[in-house]
Amino acid sequence: MRGEPYRMDSGEGRARPHPVCRHPPRLKRRVAGRHFWRCCSRTHPAFTPACLRREWVYQVCRQAASNQEGEGKILKSTMSIIGFVDWRGNPISRGVHGGVRAAWFIYFLTVITNIVNIPILLNLVTYLHGTMHMGVSSSATTVTNFVGATCGFALIGAFLSDSYLTRSTTILLFGPLEFLGYGLLALQAYLPSLHPPSCNIKELTNCKEIHGWNAILLYLALYIIAFGEGCVRACLPSLGADQFDHDPTESHQQSSFFNWFTFGISFGGLVGLILIVWLQNYKGWGIGLGLCAILILLGLLVFAAGLPFYRNQVPGGSPLTRILQVLVVAFRNRRLELPEKLEEAQEISTGSGTIEVLSQTNNLKFLDKACINRGKDGAWSHCSAAKVEALWSVCFLCLSAP
C-alpha cells in the first residue's frame, strides 16, 4: 500500500500497516510527550513522516475524548432539573440534590412512622376497652372512624402539597401534629385524673366509661394524630419518587426506592408489633404512648436534617382540582348539544413544566360537554379534552377494580 508505513511482524517476514495510522486525523490540541516519539523507537523501524503525524493525532484525539468525557460528567452532575427546587426555592443541582442519599432520610421516617402507627391501629381496641372502659362495639367503631379519618386527611395533604406547598414542607408542617397527638394520649394514659379508674374489665357494669372532657381529650388526640399521619402518608412516597428523574441510572434507582419503601413499612410494623405492643401491655400505656411520641419527634428531626438534599417539585395544581373542574363544567353544559367536532386541546401543561398527552376515547360522552366553549375564558368555564380523558381514566380504574 503506497504512502502507508509498514512494520515487520517478528518471525513472519510480512509487512502490515502500523495500527496508529488507521485513526482519523482530527486535531484537537497539541499534546507533547514521549508518545510522539514511539514511532521513532526501535519497535517501529519503518516509519515515515505520515506515521509520526498520525501517531501525534491519535494521542491528541485520545486526550480530547478523555477531557470531553470528564467535562460531560461534570456538566451532568451540575445541571439543574426543570420543575424542581431546593428547600429555599433555588434551582437544584443534580450532583447535590436527590438520589439515594436523600432517599435514606425518607426511609428512616417511613420506618419510624410505621413502628408507631401499625401497633396503635391493631392495639387501640384493647386500650379503649381495657383502659377507657368503652364497649367492644364502641371501641371498634372509634378505631374504624380513626382509620377512615386518616385516609380522608391524606387527600387534604395531597391536595395541599400539589397545589400550594412542597411535599417536604407539608411533612414538616403537619408531622408535628402527630407528635402532639401521641403526647396528649400519653399524658392522658399517665395521669389518673384524665382516665377512668381501674376496675375488673370482665364486669363492665361496675366500670365507669370515659366521658365529659376526658372523652373530648381522647377524641381530639386521636383525630390530631389522624390529620398529621394522613398528610405525612400522602407525601412520603411521592417525595421519594421525586428524588430520581428519567436518567437511566436514576430510573433504575427509582424502582429500587419503592421496593425499599415497602420493606421499610413491613420492617417498621414488625418492630412496632414486637416492641411497642409489649411496652403497652406490660409496662403501661403511658410508657408505650410516650415512646411513640418520642419516636415521631426523632423521625421528624432526622427528616428535617435531609432538607438540603431534597428535590422539591414546584406545586403546579392538584389533579383533584382538574377533575372537579371537568365535573362542574360538564354539569353547567348539561343542556347544551354536543357538537360533532370539538376543538381538542390534547396537551395540558402543568406548573412543573411537564406535558401530559392523552388520546381521546368514545366513553362517557356526557363528560365531553365540558369541552364546549361558550365564549368564556377560565378553567371553570371551558376544559381541554386532556382533562376529560384524565377523569375518564380515573373512572375506568375505579370501575375495573375488583
CA angle 218–188–211, rounded 5-degree value: 45
What pLDDT is attached to residue 324?
87
What pLDDT is attached to residue 314?
87
- Label residue 240 exposed, middle or buried (CB < 10 Å: 0-12, 13-18, 19+): buried
In this structure, what are the phi and psi dihedrals at residue 53, rounded to the nearest 5 degrees? -65, -40
Residue by residue, pLDDT tens for the chain (402 residues) are 444 444 444 444 444 444 444 444 444 334 334 444 444 444 444 444 444 444 444 554 455 445 554 444 433 444 557 778 888 888 888 878 888 899 999 999 999 999 999 999 999 999 998 889 888 899 999 999 999 999 999 999 999 998 888 999 999 999 999 999 999 999 999 999 998 888 876 766 678 888 899 999 999 999 999 999 999 999 999 999 889 887 777 777 888 899 999 999 999 999 999 999 999 989 999 999 999 999 999 999 999 999 999 999 888 777 888 888 888 988 888 888 777 665 544 444 344 444 444 445 555 677 888 888 877 777 788 888 888 888 888 787 777 655
What pLDDT is attached to residue 290?
95
CA dihedral 359, 361, 365, 371 (to 10 degrees): 10
Query: What is the distance between the alpha carbons of residues 220 and 184, in angstroms, rounded to a whole number?
Result: 9
Indicate the domain borders of the chain: 6-78, 99-313, 319-400
What pLDDT is attached to residue 268?
95
Retrieve residue 165's grid coordinates.
406547598
Residue among 5, 249, 239, 270 at smallest CA distance from 118: 270
Domain 99-313 indexed as CATH 3.40.120.10: no
Task: Kindly give, in sequence order, each residue whose CB lies less than 8 Å from that of residue 210, ignoring residues fewer than 6 positions away.
Answer: 132, 133, 134, 195, 196, 218
Alpha carbon of 26 to those of 40, 51, 131, 224: distances in Å? 22, 15, 84, 69
What pLDDT is attached to residue 311?
92
pTM of the model: 0.70
Query: What is the distance between the alpha carbons of residues 303 and 230, in angstroms, rounded to a whole number?
Result: 17
